[in-house]
Amino acid sequence: MTEKTKISRRSMLTAGAGLAATAISGTTIGKSMTVTPSNPEGPFYPVHKQVDMDTDLTLIEGHTERAQGEVIKVTGQVLDDKGLPVEGALVDIWQANTNGRYHHEDDPATMPTDPNFQGWGMVKTDALGRYAFTTIKPGAYMVNDEWRRPPHIHYKVSRRGYREITTQMYFAGESLNEKDSLLNDVAENERDLLVVDFNERDGVLHGNFSVVLAKVS
């Protein structure tokens, strides 16, 4: 049994406990909900398929070392605009490493790469619309001399019968959020839907990011 298999099984048990805590609330069902705001895909969506694209981005199959950086767990639900869970939605995430560099050949950044960071993962939601990822908190990075992007994770969420959403999840409390032009392009009354509070539990930061999809009419 590989180290990845051992960790993945342990992570699944931990994730299961976390998912149980995110079970759909009875007050949500039937309630009209705001569709998650979109945010640009950006230029660094992965272009080469990876062998390892599971929900633990901190350890690559066959590697003995974990990714550098602060480990975080992100859980959430995919819901429709009536508050009902969307089963079988594909949740696709990608992000920079702890140094603020993407695993992408076109990233011009000079920050160090991390050969042990997966950088890209996918999972389908369960019957209650739930998903979970273990990853690292991404680093901020410079776009140009005047613009430094705050830590963020890219999301693409899709399911037949619903409009696909591409967006970004941001971290609460980051000073760079206030000046980020992409986050500020989102309507002020919807901006908080993309910003997540993380709280420490059992030595790991946990955050919940749920996505609301609109049905195709």
Asked if 58 contacts 71 with a C-beta cutoff of 8 angstroms, the reply is yes
State phi, psi for 79 to the nearest 5 degrees. -125, 160
Residue 152 falls in the annotated catalytic set: yes
Residue 154 falls in the annotated catalytic set: yes
Candidate list 152, 162, 170, 206, residue with the active-site label: 152
Candidate list 63, 148, 163, 191, residue with the active-site label: 148
Written out in words, the top-level CATH class of the domain with range 3-213 is mainly beta
Residue 149 falls in the annotated catalytic set: no
Candidate list 154, 155, 159, 206, residue with the active-site label: 154
What does each C-alpha distance from 129 to 53, 86, 124, 148, 169 come to in angstroms? 20, 5, 8, 34, 18
Instruction: Tell me the H-state helices in the chain.
Output: 3-21, 181-184
pLDDT digits (tens, 9 = 90+) for 166-213: 999 999 999 999 999 999 999 999 999 999 999 999 999 999 999 999
Candidate list 101, 102, 131, 170, residue with the active-site label: 102
pLDDT digits (tens, 9 = 90+) for 113-171: 999 999 999 999 999 999 999 999 999 999 998 999 999 999 999 999 999 999 999 99
Candidate list 130, 131, 141, 170, residue with the active-site label: 141
Give the Cα separation of 154 and 209 in Å (integer): 12
Residue 104 falls in the annotated catalytic set: no
Asked if 141 contacts 149 with a C-beta cutoff of 8 angstroms, the reply is yes
User: How do the domains of the chain map onto residue ranges?
Assistant: 3-213
Report pTM.
0.86
Residue 102 falls in the annotated catalytic set: yes
